[in-house]
Amino acid sequence: MTKIHTTNPLTLGVDTHLDKHVAVLLNAMGKHIDTAEFPVCEKGYQELLAWCRSFGQLTEAGIEGTGSYGAGLCRFLEKSNVCVYEVNRPNRAKRRLVGKSDTIDAENAARSVLAKESTAIPKSHDGKVEALRYFMVVRRSTVKSRTQTVNQIRALLVTAPDCIKRACYVPSTFQCIQACLSL
């Protein structure tokens, strides 16, 4: 069993994915401590935190994708009193020159936090703004579905028998729908 160090401040970097997170730990001097992968679930987040704490005190974390794949981990770490920063994905041209791997991305995330290059606080994903965002997503989807349905009805009416076409194919969308419903 690894001895827990209480005076060794650590910085965590995480490259997030749908089913796994790749984590890299650096000490205060930027020395690479360890790398590990964890499943994306509550148990995986607990394992990640326990892994970090087995090497010292986790003080800050840089996470790629706190608004998508890393949202759950971000919330978990914030509840565990870890200062979390949003890390932008690396420049694609630079990544091609240096190389690309999940471990490299996670280490770069930790280094950007350690160097104070990544200082963006992740969105909380709760409160009034987030609730409004959910309503706007549903509204957009509903409007899109309604438009598609009306367009399909009008397309079907073009080839419908003349008696149906005369009764239902009218310029007003509201009147067209009412006429179709009355059939």
Amino acid (one-letter) located at 11: T
In the chain, the number of structural domains is: 2
Regarding whether 81 and 15 lie in a shared domain, the answer is: yes
Tokens of 153: 């009805």
For residue 171, the model assigns a pLDDT of 87
Average pLDDT of the chain to the nearest whole number: 87
Instruction: Assess whether pLDDT exceeds 60 at residue 105.
Output: yes
- Is 120 domain-assigned? no
- Is 106 domain-assigned? yes
Whichever domain contains 40, its CATH number is 3.30.420.140
Regarding whether 109 and 133 lie in a shared domain, the answer is: no
Total-model pTM: 0.69
For residues 120, 121, 127 and 132, what is the CA-based torsion angle, rounded to 10 degrees? Answer: 20
Tokens of 107: 């280490």
Regarding whether 145 and 94 lie in a shared domain, the answer is: no
Q: pLDDT tens digits for 30-54?
A: 999 999 999 999 999 999 999 999 9
Q: Which structural domain range is residue 158 located in?
A: 127-182
For residue 1, the model assigns a pLDDT of 45
Regarding whether 161 and 78 lie in a shared domain, the answer is: no
Regarding whether 101 and 175 lie in a shared domain, the answer is: no
Query: 35 Cβ partners below 8 Å, 6+ apart?
Result: 22, 23, 24, 25, 103, 106, 107
Regarding whether 84 and 52 lie in a shared domain, the answer is: yes
Q: pLDDT tens digits for 140-179?
A: 999 999 999 999 999 999 999 998 888 898 889 899 989 8
